[in-house]
Amino acid sequence: MLSWMARQQELVGLDVGSSFIKIVQLQRSRDSYRLAKLAVAPIQPETIVDGTIMDAAAVSDTIQQLFAEHDITVKDVAFSVSGHSVIVKKIKVPQMKKAELREGIAWEAEQHIPYSMEDVNLDFQILREAGPGEQEMDVLLVAVKKETLNDYLAMIVTAGLSAAVVDVDAFAIENAFTISAQLQPDEVVALVNIGAAVTTINILRGGISDFTRDSSVGGNRHTESLQQSLGVSVEEAEAIKRGEPVHGHNFADARPVIEQVNSELAGEIRRSFDFYHSTSQSETIHRMVLSGGCALLPDLASYLSSALALPVEIADPFHHVVADPKEFDAEYLAAIAPQMTVAVGLALREPGDDAE
């Protein structure tokens, strides 16, 4: 295609988390990305609970404000859902053409998904075609509850935007990771994104997703535990987590409480790793890449590293993104980078590329 015809359609990555809205727009040139827009804003507790939007007006207002404040004019967004309304499963199906599988995916899915097919939106990706002498191929099946998806879509329309791509957090973190990763063919890497309400795990083997799981644990646990043990408010507990002293309490007082929750998080991740080991051929997970707002907790990466006995690095989704220091404060970017991983992964998507 001629270069003037190949003009990139633009798209904004919109990560609506239960505690922060994160927005990233990237500009793509031939082989690099430039940061065009970046916006982050907290949303009030109880606005999104257990993956359900309780106050859609508040969320769409915040999104609209962020778009206005940051002068974001692109209306097409890529967004993602996570938590228990999302099921991602690697399944085996008889070798067939993609078009045939599209016809038959509901039938295949029915055997793997505990919901009625009328209640879910299905998507799939062929991971590996049947090899010589094999009858079956590996397919990644994705099912999202329609109820949840429709709520998010309605909220996006209310914000004056249009959903060009629908994704799930697990693939968004994978996307963000794979733009900059150099992977060995047999390397097993666990991508772990710990947000406020959800921990998303995506284990990649040789760069291909081998296992994903979302569990309902995250930074809210630290916050709640601090509230109870120190008798502070949600806002105060959040401030203590960020290392800001709050009348008489500082991070040092909070450390035992935080460590207790860190050990619960480690236990939850360990259970997923054990499950992975029991169902896959891989014996070893070589390293973990930690993202999400909880990666900003000073001790979590080193805690997880010793508790799970593997190297843990903190995700830097901006590693391969050029950001003009006149527009974006480098120190600030570095400080929030891990929390922006899902949004960067979404911003990397292209309009219309969500159907397989």
Ligand X SMILES: Nc1ncnc2c1ncn2[C@@H]1O[C@H](COP(=O)(O)OP(=O)(O)OP(=O)(O)O)[C@@H](O)[C@H]1O
Binding site for Mg ion (CB under 5 A): 17, 195
The least CB distance from residue 152 to Mg ion, in Å, is: 13
Please say which residue, 101 or 165, places its beta carbon nearer to Mg ion. 165
**Rounded to 5, what percent of the chain is helix, strand, coil?**
40, 30, 30
By a kind-dependent CB cut-off of 5 to 8 A, residue 217 interacts, out of ligand X, Mg ion, none, with none
CA quadruple 242, 244, 249, 252: dihedral positive or negative?
positive
By a kind-dependent CB cut-off of 5 to 8 A, residue 345 interacts, out of ligand X, Mg ion, none, with none
By a kind-dependent CB cut-off of 5 to 8 A, residue 145 interacts, out of Mg ion, ligand X, none, with none
Token pair recorded at residue 150 = 């429709």
Please say which residue, 43 or 93, places its beta carbon nearer to Mg ion. 43
By a kind-dependent CB cut-off of 5 to 8 A, residue 339 interacts, out of ligand X, Mg ion, none, with ligand X
Pairing of strands 76-81, 12-16: parallel
Q: How far apart are CA 270 and CA 232, in angstroms?
A: 30
Please say which residue, 22 or 90, places its beta carbon nearer to ligand X. 22
Q: Which residues pair with 249 in a beta bridge?
A: 246
Residues near ligand X (CB under 6 A) are 17-20, 82, 195-198, 218-220, 223, 238, 241-242, 292-294, 296-297, 339
In the block, residue with structure tokens 């962020």: 66
Token pair recorded at residue 187 = 């390397």
By a kind-dependent CB cut-off of 5 to 8 A, residue 347 interacts, out of ligand X, Mg ion, none, with none
Please say which residue, 13 or 17, places its beta carbon nearer to ligand X. 17
The least CB distance from residue 146 to ligand X, in Å, is: 20
Q: How far apart are CA 223 and CA 305, in angstroms?
A: 22
Judge whether 264 and 304 are in contact, CB under 8 Å.
Answer: no
Judge whether 83 and 50 are in contact, CB under 8 Å.
Answer: yes
By a kind-dependent CB cut-off of 5 to 8 A, residue 219 interacts, out of ligand X, Mg ion, none, with ligand X
The least CB distance from residue 102 to ligand X, in Å, is: 30
Please say which residue, 47 or 209, places its beta carbon nearer to ligand X. 47
Picking from 164, 222, 149, 194, the residue whose alpha carbon sits closest to that of residue 338 is 194
By a kind-dependent CB cut-off of 5 to 8 A, residue 80 interacts, out of Mg ion, ligand X, none, with none
Please say which residue, 20 or 211, places its beta carbon nearer to Mg ion. 20
Picking from 92, 103, 78, the residue whose alpha carbon sits closest to that of residue 126 is 92
In the block, residue with structure tokens 């901006």: 318
Please say which residue, 59 or 165, places its beta carbon nearer to ligand X. 59
Instruction: List all residues 6 or more positions away from 19 whose beta carbon is below 8 Å from its beta carbon.
Output: 42, 43, 45, 195, 196, 197, 219, 220, 293
Helix axes 234-241, 251-279, angle to 10 degrees: 80
